[in-house]
Every structure is written in structure tokens, then in C-alpha cells.
Structure 1
Amino acid sequence: MTRIEAEFSGAEHAAPDTAALADVRAVVAAAEAHDDRPPVSDQAMVAAAQGRRLVARFTAALEGEELPRPAAVGIVGDGEIDLVVHPDARGRGIGSAALARLLEGATMPVKAWSHGVNPAADALLQRAGFSPVRELLRMTLDPALLPHGDPIEAPDWLSITPHTSGSAVEAAAWVAVNAAAFADHPEQGAMTLDDFAALTREEWFDAADLLLAFDSRGDGAERPAAFAWVKTVVTPASQTALGGTECELYALGVHPDEAGAGLGRILLDRALRRMAEHDPDRISLYVDGDNERAVRLYERTGFTVDQRSRQWVKENGRHE
């Protein structure tokens, strides 16, 4: 029988200790390298680093076998649970034991993700009383399909420029457009100036990869209208089977007041051209499965569905 111990750190707006956060990042990186997909969203990692979510490290003991330390890690807060079991510790009941600890005392609905085709995670969540409620698509594009030649023409009243690193005005503009564009999105639409600042401190951040669009119609004053954000990660081949450069369309947002002007298509075109400058080996994006308009836009550009993930919810934090 596997014995498991938990150590919690952070939350209550106090960042977790450095060792705890390093352990979480290490297990997440090991899982991503093994599964070729990230097991935790950037938003969850940022929230944990800021002390807005609790982090947990699980140490497991199994007679006659040495397991990684920690064998699993968790992130809890904002009504969500992220649980990652180290690849070398899977299949020993550690996930079930860790999830039970994370759910202790929960009285409100709790959400969790199962990334990609993951029967083990699906079964674990079902046994714990979760039900699937939402689908997230990972779409990919052949780098050979990146656009060349002249970009899609933008109207005279639209200016598109890379973000100026450290600009408080542009940061506020991004937060405003993002909140309006993703008002119905439970994670993306809730991002704050602090969240934006935290993302700009990530190793992958490049101000030139964040394109901001402004509308100068009307009184001539520029109003934030849309944005496209590219996330570029270079991974040594020794760390994963899919080494090399991956460009992700991290986010594409258009202010609802600009609907119908074709800004989504224009910003997507600019983002893909920015990706081409990185000479990527892979190109990806994530989009909600029920966002049919966005899915059609990406499909017309050549993106295809590569992976389907599901979000699960446990009502009132208890078995039905």
C-alpha cells in the first residue's frame, strides 16, 4: 500500500516558498516532456506564483521502491484543482490519494482538467464524482503554411504595433481589450494588470511577440481595439521528444465594439507572420470547442484539431 504525505504552501496572497514552486515547476516540466503536452495552464502557474492559489507537494512511500520526491504536485484555488503526478510515479494510486487530499473540506463546486486523450485521468475524476462540462481544442498548423508576401491590408484607421516593454498605458489597454473580448471566458477574461505583469516576467515573454491594435476613428484618439500574442518556447531535444521551437498563438482578442471589421483575420495574419520570424518547428493554439466562430477562422487559415481536452466539475465538492 502506498503511503502519501502532503505539504502545502502559499495562498492567502503570500507566494509559496521558492523550493515549493521549484518542485511544482520540475514535476510539471517532467510531465510535459513525457506526455508532449502541458499538464497545467499558464494562468494556474502565474496564480500560484503570486500566492493566489495554494501549491501542494505529495511525497509517496512504497515498500521496496524509490519514488520521485515529490511524486505529485497540486495547485488549488479559484474553484479549480490542478494535479500532476510525476511520470515515474504513475500507476501506484498516488493520483487518487493526492486528489482526495486536495478535495478535503471542499463545499463548493470544484473544476479540474483532463488534458488530451487521457483515460487514466478521466477515470480518476469520474471515481471522485466529477462530470465533464467543457471541451478545449488544441489546434496545430504546418509551419509550411505560414503566410509570405504582402500582409492582409488593414484599414487606415487601424494601427498595429508591438508592445513597448514596461508601458503602463499599453498594459492597461491589453487588460481592457482582453476583459471585453473574453468576458464569458472563466480564466482568460479575469486576468488583471498583476497577471499581465507576471506573464511579462516569464522566460518565454518577448514584447515584440505581443501585437496591439488601436482604432483612431471618431475623435482621433486611439482606442484599444484588438491584440494578438505569440508565445515562443525553445526546448532542447534532450528534454523532450519534440525538441525545437514551438510558437503558440497564446491569445487573440478583439473588442466587441470592433466586431464585423475583420480585425480577427488581420491580427491572426500578423501573428503568423511574426511566428515565421522565429522559424518554428511547430505551431499551436488552444480554443474552446464551442467557440465556433474562432474555430472556423483558424480552420480557414489551415489549423486542424490535434488534441481535445475536457474540463470536469464536481458539484458541491462531494459525491452525488
Structure 2
Amino acid sequence: MSPVEIVAQLHQSQIDEAVALIDEITSHDGLSPISEHVFLHLRHGGDAQGLHFLKYENAQLIAYAHLDVTDKVEGPSAEIAVAPEFRRQGLGTEIIQALVTAAPDGNLRLWAHGEQSVSGQWAKAMGFDHARSLWQMRRSLLAPLPPASFGDDVILRTFIPGQDDDEWVALNARAFAGHDEQGDWTLADLHRRMAEPWFSIPGFLVAQDRDTGTMLGFHWTKIHGEIQVTPDHPHAHDAIGEVYVVGVDPTLQGRGLGKALTLAGLHHLRSCGLVQSMLYVDASNTSAISLYEALGFSRWDVDVMYRHGSVT
């Protein structure tokens, strides 16, 4: 096998190879080894401050990793993808060691998507410590679903591209102040997601003040694929709807607007013919977990962040 290549900017052929590898792993494992944020940047050539790690065997890309060095407070973070047929050959350890070597002072955070993921197994075997957990929760859309109740002063409508963009970015920043992964989204981040094949205007709900027209909150839903199991895709999975992002103006907390928006989005997903919904929530956010449990969600799986070195 060739040594691990480390590049700051990918060529289009390398992008295509990495995307194909991630798609293969997602189909095999039932979940992506790479977060949406990293995957979107990858498809558009990567970000200016990221590093890409590539491992080839006979000109075939068999492993890919991304190192994000933009967080100067928490430290660099990484995600790994290894082709299923090349696992248990020491590739994970080799890639992680290359990541640790490239990270300043050897400080590294590593995401493992799924509680039983191979990335988590590699991290624990190499002495990484547990740093954070992100729950995936699910709910059947076949079970009874309460109505979404809004006050008479609130109008529920769909997002209007080109009109709502700036106001949505500003509201998102207020709603997720202190949560950089979500609150730091820019117009470019919004537009990048709107350009994705899964984007659907009917699934992007907005609550606005009836009198002033001010945006009060939103629920952006997402539908994950509709691939059915066939002889060519034996590991495919049925479509599932996601509570992608729910945000409410912080000055309106406690009025039940978040609950109403969540329910409105679930009703939309059910109307699309879906039978299952999911969402992600930080394991430390007990108030949000309590709300989602009250709406019928339960824990399904866990993404875990592991830490190496003195990152805090």
C-alpha cells in the first residue's frame, strides 16, 4: 500500500473518489462516516483551513480522513472513512496516527458516528478519552401525533428563497448563540444546503408574527433518500425524515413555539408518506431531550467525540 497522502486542496478527481468512498460506506453501514458539514465542504473542494488524508491501494482510494483546524478554542477535529473490505488491516490506526502527527501538539478530537462505529473502536484502542455524545433520537410517524397549535398572532408558512435568507441567518445566529456549529452559519452555508438535492421548500417551515411579519422561528426538515433494497443495493435503507433544525427567537422561549414548530414539521414529514422520523441532540441538553421524549422520541444511537492530548 502507498503511504498516507496529506493535501490542503483536492483535485476534482480526488473529490469524486472521496465522495464515492463515503457513499459506499454509507450504503454498507447504514450511516455516513462523515458529518454533513464536512461532506458539503468536501463536495465543493474543501475549506481553506482543512487538511485531507488519502490512502490508496493500486490506485483505488480505500481510506479518507478530514482534519478541521479552524476551532482555535476546542482544537482540531477529525473524521475518518475506511472502505469496508479494507478494515481490520491496521488502516484506521495508521490514519489516526497521521492525524495526531499533523495536529498541533498532538491534540485531536475524533468523531465516531454511531455507538458501534469502527472509528470509535479505533479511538478507544488508541487510548482516546470520551469527550462528548450526540444522541440520535427516533419516533414513529405511524403513532398518534398531536396537532401543532399556534396562537392567533402567529402565521405558519414556508421559507421564501431570496426573501427570507438574511433574516433567517440572523435568527439562526440568535437562536443558537453559544453553539458555534449551528450559530455560525453564513449565507453561504445556507445556500450550500439549499443547493443540495434533498432541499425542499415545503419542508422548510417558518413562523412569523401576523402583524409585523417578523420571523419568530423555523423548522427545517430533511428527508434522507428513498433507496429501496435491491440485488444491486443489498444494504440500502428506507427513507427517513429528520427534524433537521428547529430554532426560535430567544426572547420568545417558554411560549411553546418550539414544540408547535416541531409538531408542524413532523406532520409535514408524515404527509410525505414517511413512517419514521429522527433528530440529533447533544446528550448534555437535558431540557431538549425531555421535550423530544414528551413528543414520543427515544434514543436510537449515539455519535461520540473522542479526545487525544490536552484538548479541553
Say whether 1:133 aligns with 2:124.
no
Structure 2 unaligned spans of 5+: 71-75
Aligned-residue offset at 1:144: 0.7
Alpha-carbon offset, residue 133 of structure 1? 1.2
1:21-68 per-residue CA deviation (whole Å, 9 max, x = no partner) reads: 22222111122222212221111112332531333321146xxxxxx8
Residue 13 of structure 1 aligns with which residue?
Answer: none
Indicate the SS of the match to 1:117: coil
Whole-angstrom CA distance in 2 between matches of 1:5 and 1:302: 45
| CA offsets 1:146-175 (integer angstroms, 9 cap, x no match) | 637xx33211221221112x32x4122222
Q: TM-score normalized by structure 1?
A: 0.85
Aligned length in residues:
298
Secondary structure at the residue paired with 1:213?
Answer: strand
In structure 2, the partner of 1:51 is 46
The reply on whether 1:98 has 2:95 as its aligned counterpart is: yes
Corresponding residue for 1:206?
A: 200
Give the ranges of 4+ consecutive aligned residues of structure 1 lying more than 6 Å apart after TM superposition: none
Shift of 1:312: 1.6
Equivalent residues of 1:146, 1:276 under 8 A apart: no
Q: Distance in 2 between matches of 1:7 and 1:19?
A: 15
Q: State the TM-score, normalizing by the size of structure 2.
A: 0.87
Match of 2:229 in 1: 237
- Asked if 1:270 corresponds to 2:269, the answer is no
1:30-179 paired onto structure 2 within 5 Å: 30-48=24-42, 49=44, 51-52=46-47, 53-60=50-57, 69-77=60-68, 78=70, 79-107=76-104, 109-118=107-116, 120-145=118-143, 147=145, 151-164=147-160, 166-167=161-162, 169-179=163-173
Which residue number in structure 2 is paired with residue 301 of structure 1?
A: 295
8 Å contact from structure 1 (residues 211, 227) kept in 2: yes
RMSD, matched Cα: 2.3
Which residue identity lines up with residue 51 of structure 1 in the other structure? G
Distance of 2:303 and 2:65 partners within structure 1? 19
For 2:120 and 2:66, locate their aligned partners in 1 and report how far apart those are by CA, in whole Å: 18
Task: Report % sequence identity.
Answer: 24
CA deviations over 1:217-267 (Å, ceiling 9, x no partner): xxx433222111111122232335353321111111112111011011100
Alpha-carbon spacing, 1:223–1:130, altered in 2? closer, same or farther (3 Å): farther
User: Is the 1:131–1:312 contact (alpha carbons within 8 Å) kept by the matching residues of 2?
Assistant: yes
Cα distance change of structure 1 residues 110 and 141 upon mapping to structure 2, 3 Å threshold: same
Change (3 A) 1:46 1:173: same
Greater mean alpha carbon deviation, residues 109-118 or residues 233-242: 233-242
Name the CA shift for 1:240/1:136 in 2 (closer, same or farther; >3 Å): farther
